Amino acid sequence: MNILLKNRIQSGISNFLFNAEPGETKIPEKEKLELEKYGRLIKVARKQMIYQEGEPPKGVYFLKKGKVKISQLNYDGAVQILFIYCAGELFGHRSILGNDRQPVTATALEDCELIFVEKEYFINVLKSSPDLSEALLQSMSHEFTTLVNRINVFAQRGIKERLALFLLILNETFKIPGQLAEESEITLNRNDLAAYTGTSVENLVRTLKMFRENGYVRVNGKTIYIENFEALFTISGL
């Protein structure tokens, strides 16, 4: 892929990504090690729930292996997928810091390994470390920006545009660390992809088909490969 195009895409979608690199946590190494030391390893099978909307949060999670989807249930039963975390990322800390109940449900997309750190211990480490506070403030501020951008997208753009954008985002999420962006295999079933894009499965399938027929993507079963980044970038309206 053209390096200029790559940069344009990168800088466009960076406003929608929590981290510049997938799996990056901005937590200082020292505190990360300290937290993980007192955490315990949990293995979670594909499709298994990690925590559920409405629960009081029990602790924070470092995802070591696998992918986790964060979703929210609508009053009419529809599911909205909000993020997909990949190995290396920390999650579950925000509801603890904000004294909220879990606003969302976390479910393993693949077989996962997590390190679970008790709420109380996390708070202790946080209180004793200005570096950790600062790092969290910084990452949450950036996350705030990405969420605001996303609200705009959902409020204003059609499904074609949203799918194009989310495919580019997923391309980062499913990037194999160290490899080039264009090597990603987006593996997500239609239901989840629809729930992520915020549409019905049927509509998603139709839009995806159109992308396929135009040569923007290639599909092999559940796996989607992006073939024409520029087209998707243009459609997404970034």
Partner DNA sequence: CGCCGTATTGAGCGCTCTCAACGAGGGTGG
Partner DNA sequence: CCACCCTCGTTGAGAGCGCTCAATACGGCG
Q: Point out which residues bind DNA (CB under 7 A).
A: 158-160, 189-191, 198-203, 205-206, 208-209, 219, 221-222
**217-220 and 40-44 beta bridge pairing:** unpaired
Helix, strand, coil shares of the chain as percentages rounded to 5? 45, 20, 30
- Tokens in use for 115? 């390190």
Contact 27, 90 (CB under 8 A): yes
* Residues 39-78 interacting with a second copy (rule: CB under 8 A): 72, 74-76, 78
3-state secondary structure of 15: helix
Residue 55 contact among DNA, a second copy, none, beta carbon within 5 to 8 Å by kind: none
Q: How far is CA 25 from the centre of its chain?
A: 13
124 binds a second copy (CB under 8 A): no
Contact 35, 117 (CB under 8 A): yes
154 binds a second copy (CB under 8 A): yes
Under rule CB under 8 A, how many of the chain's residues touch a second copy?
Answer: 45
d(CA 177, CA 44): 22
Give the contact letters, 192-211, x = binds to a second copy (CB under 8 A), - = no: ------x-------------
103 binds a second copy (CB under 8 A): yes
d(CA 103, CA 100): 7
Considering beta carbons, is residue 99 or 220 the nearer one to a second copy? 99
* Among 8, 18, 11, 9, residue whose Cα is nearest residue 147: 18
For residue 162, the minimal CB distance to a second copy (Å) is 9
15 binds a second copy (CB under 8 A): yes
Residue 208 contact among a second copy, DNA, none, beta carbon within 5 to 8 Å by kind: DNA
Enumerate binding residues for a second copy (CB under 8 A). 15, 72, 74-76, 78, 80, 82, 93-100, 103-104, 127, 130, 133-134, 136-145, 147-152, 154-157, 198, 237-238
